Amino acid sequence: MPNKRFYEKYANASLKFFYGENHENFVLSESPDLQNEKDNIGVEVTRGISEYEGRLSRLANECMEQNLPLDKRVTRANKMFRKNFLGMVHENLGFVIADPENGHDCGELHVRQIIEKIKIKTDKLQNLYKQFEWNCLYVFAEYPLKSKHILVLADLLNAEQLNKYDIYFINALDRLYIINARKDFKFQKHSFSATELGEFTEEAYKD
Q: What is the pLDDT along the chain (207 residues), one digit of tens a residue?
A: 468 899 999 999 999 999 999 999 999 999 999 999 999 999 999 998 665 666 666 666 667 667 777 777 777 777 776 655 555 444 433 344 444 444 445 788 889 889 999 999 999 999 999 999 999 999 999 888 999 999 999 999 999 999 999 999 999 989 999 999 999 999 999 999 999 999 999 999 998
CB atoms within 10 A of CB 73: 21
In the chain, the number of structural domains is 2
| CB 154, CB 165: distance < 8 Å | no
* Polymer length of the chain: 207
CA-to-CA distance for 2 and 204, rounded, in angstroms? 9
Q: In the prediction, which pLDDT does 135 show?
A: 98
Same domain, 191 and 119: yes
Q: In the prediction, which pLDDT does 94 show?
A: 38
The contacts of residue 79 (CB under 8 Å, 6+ apart) are none
Same domain, 61 and 84: yes
CA-to-CA distance for 108 and 112, rounded, in angstroms? 6
Same domain, 110 and 9: yes
Identify the domain boundary among 32, 63, 98.
98
Same domain, 37 and 58: no
Same domain, 172 and 70: no
Same domain, 93 and 140: no
Q: In the prediction, which pLDDT does 101 show?
A: 46
CA-to-CA distance for 45 and 9, rounded, in angstroms? 9
Same domain, 75 and 148: no
Same domain, 114 and 186: yes
- Closest C-alpha among 38, 24, 52, 63 to residue 116: 52
CA-to-CA distance for 154 and 158, rounded, in angstroms? 6
User: Which range of residues forms the domain containing residue 127?
Assistant: 4-49+106-205
